[in-house]
Amino acid sequence: MRLLAVLLAFLAALVAGCGGPGQSGTAQSAPAPSPAVMPETESGVAEVLTALPELMPASIDIPAIDAVSSLIPLGVTERGGWEVPPVETPQQASWFSEGPMPGEPGPAVVLGHVDGGGESGVFARLTELDVGDEVIVRARSGRVSVFRVTGTEQVAKSAFPTGDVLGETAGPELRLVTCGGSFDPAADSYRDSVIVYATMVT
């Protein structure tokens, strides 16, 4: 599945670019996959965003951990890397615009830093979420999609659960992704990924 490969590459780029202790806070990117795994336009995502930009997600609110942020759509840079939220603005969350929009069928992905530039990130407290906690995503149109957390896991980046995170779902779901675990100075990155799974209720 081509979109699956693209989304996996983007997630790998983000978790490699999480801010860490003492990090200066520069934007990170990683090489994009070859054209053979680029998403096809038949997915319809790009066409929908062009025709109906008001459907795009505008903000995310997670009351249980006091996490609130606007959502910026991120894709591929002109240099062929995957865009990630700038580390110098660690409170900024992003939505992967090549995947499903929150509230639409499939696993929409929202990404944010755990910290950056010596400051806490928007997802600094992601591990504190419990089953049943709400995640609220608002679209530019005013549409509100409410999700409830169904599970949280922290895994080594080398064991990222691709199928669980990116596989097909029966309905609209949400994935929140950030860094976790100990910091590896040699790699300038955290060793783990923190993933929260949520299912839409309204």
> CATH number of the domain that 84 lies in?
2.40.260.10
Decide: helix, strand or coil at residue 63.
Answer: helix
Average pLDDT of every residue of the chain: 80
Number of domains in the chain: 1
Domain limits for position 115? 2-200
Taking the chain, what is the end-to-end CA distance rounded to the nearest angstrom?
29
Q: Which residues of the chain have pLDDT under 70?
A: 1-52, 75-77, 79-83
CB atoms within 10 A of CB 123: 30
d(CA 165, CA 4): 10
Rounded to 5 degrees, φ, ψ at 66 are 55, 40
Question: Cβ distance 109 to 175 under 8 Å?
Answer: yes
**Could you tell me the CA-to-CA distances from 109 to 118, 166, 172, 197 in Å, in that order?**
25, 9, 11, 10
pLDDT in tens, 148-193: 999 999 999 889 898 898 899 999 999 999 999 999 999 888 999 9
